[in-house]
Amino acid sequence: MTGVGFASVPLYRMFCQATGFGGTTQRANAAPGATTGQQMTVAFDSNTSNALPWRFSPDQRSMKVSLGEREMAFFTAKNNSDKPVTGTATFNVTPAQAGKYFSKIQCFCFTEQTLQPGEEIRMPVVYFVDPAIATDPDARSVQEITLSYTFYPVDSAKAAS
């Protein structure tokens, strides 16, 4: 039972990444290159844990994107404390059925971010929306996808062990 318990988390994560379950986005090496000419709105949402002394926000609230085209958006984070702070971002998209069609090529959310006291940085996310979304009966009516991030502090005691 202990082995099943330990295996369940990575298996669940793999299942979510493969299916887009719960709005889990995909990872890709490149955009498909072919676009359909169809457009969609991608909105950006940002949150921070109360335990993280950062200001974190998207540089723009939304953008019109062409399905299949590589896009880039920026988020800005500022450490408002007087000491270095490391954070990590969780993410998802809504509506949930869009998760398997939203792919990130590069993202600040793939690694922990350390900001020095008072430091402000711009962080990119490079992504595309798979044109297959337009032919999926469960997702073809989607006109807007919201990409949401929440930053949490990294527990330095756990990270060191």
CA distances from 87 to 24, 104, 128, 133, 154 (A): 20, 19, 25, 32, 5
pLDDT band at 31 (very low <50, low <70, confident <90, very high): low
Q: How many domains does the chain have?
A: 1
Task: Return the pLDDT at 144.
Answer: 97
pLDDT of 27 higher than 60: yes
Instruction: Write the CATH number for 57.
Output: 2.60.370.10
At residue 30 the predicted structure's pLDDT band, cuts being 50, 70 and 90, is low
Q: Which residue has the tokens 């890709």?
A: 28
CA distance 137 to 140: 6
Q: Measure the CA–CA gap between 57 and 75, rounded to whole angstroms.
A: 6
Give the structural domain span for 126: 2-160
Cα–Cα nearest to 145, from 42, 13, 48: 42
CA torsion sign, 27 to 32 to 35 to 36?
negative
Q: Are 94 and 148 in contact (CB under 8 A)?
A: yes
In the predicted structure, residue 19 carries a pLDDT above the cut 50 = no
Beta strands in 95-159 (DSSP E): 102-107, 113-115, 120-129, 144-153
Q: What is the pLDDT of residue 12?
A: 38
Rounded to 5°, angle at Cα 9 from 86 and 75: 35
Give the per-residue pLDDT at 37: 80
Does the structure show a pLDDT above 50 at 159? Answer: no
Q: What pTM was computed for the model?
A: 0.79
**pLDDT tops 80 at residue 1:** no
Closest by alpha carbon to 26, among 81, 104, 119?
A: 104
Lowest-pLDDT choice from 29-38, 59-68, 106-115, 147-156: 29-38
CA dihedral of 139, 126, 94, 8, whole degrees rounded to 10: 100
Average pLDDT over residues 104-120: 97
Cα gap 27→99, rounded to integer Å: 11
